[in-house]
Structure 1
Amino acid sequence: MPSDKSELAQRIALTRPDHTVRGFIFNSILILVSQRAGSEAVARLAELVKMKRPIDFFSYPAADFLQLLYAAVDVLEPYYDSVDDAFRACGAATVSGFFESHVGNTLAKLVGRGDPKRAFASTPTVYRTLVSYGSHDCEPMDGRRVKIVFRGDMQPMLFHEGSLRAALMAVGGGAQSAVEGTACALDHSEFLVRW
């Protein structure tokens, strides 16, 4: 079942010309497609969304990223159990791209591994380096939990759920870790992160 194109259109309608996404997030999706579906699939995607290979730390329109994301999910769906899992996989791919980048590598060294609460406290800073829109807040909770609230962010909740799960594992969340997302609106998602 392909991704919901009417939802894509609604999400694109939420974007403004000054809403941008860093190139390495685009490239992370393209790398995932290449790994799963091959280089011909990447070439078809690039042609479909009419884009050249982005430069990692340049900024590109969020609407273009949405088009790439939904097209990539359609290509990737046969390799996952569902469209939802393909969205999550795309989100997870962006985390590996982030931690391989200079900024992500530096941040990982600053916050260290093994302390997810401290790492997730950096959520607003991290997202300000990745995108030019929305608020991305971390609310500490008792014990080994935090609540992450995204407002004004038109990316799908499942995409963010995948990225937050991968980030949790990258900072040492462990086997009992979980991220539970709730879509409150097209541009408002909340996540309970526990480890």
Structure 2
Amino acid sequence: MSLESQRLPYGDGRDALMAAVVDVVAEKGLRGLTYRSVAGRAGVNHTLITHHFGSIEGLLAATLEWAVQRSIDETGLARVADFDEQFADALLDSVSAEPELQLFQFEMLLEARRQPELRALLDRLYGNYISTVESALRARSLDTDEELSRAVFAALDGLMLQFLTFGNPAKIRAAVIQVGRLLERSATASGANAAGL
């Protein structure tokens, strides 16, 4: 397929390539990630990878950033402090609708153990998750810090991994709501301690 016959509007080829990376890595792991596998999945010429990203590594880094931001937006993570049934349903619906987005990120986390150069990028991007949770908790006037935000996000991250691995949405939904109840109890206890009760 030639670039002439493809004629994607500017930006479409870039997004198509990142979406293709997510699909390929979720399905085959990083070992299945090649110029041809990505271009074939995106329906574009493989030269677009170097045109837009410089290399497969550049494409992977851009895709990870894109996937994290999309995940934050689509899961409604900014509403994490609600921890109600609506939040749990929205989270599970989002992950169910696009499981590849989460699977790609989990695959990248595992790969960072084998490729230390990925750790700094993943640490920075996962910091986006932590700060989103922290902002949401602070907006609800919950006394929070990075450690609590990290713990809340880790609980959700682990629950989504279990959901993608084992299914059982009812149990996972109940667990997400339970994390919220624990957070509320912690907030109540902190408030009582601060008031000297």
Query: TM above 0.5, one fold?
Result: no
TM-score w.r.t. the length of structure 2 is 0.30
Q: Which has the higher strand share?
A: 1
Q: Which has the higher helix share?
A: 2
Kindly indicate whether structure 1 or structure 2 has the higher relative contact order, using CA contacts under 8 Å at least 6 residues apart. 1
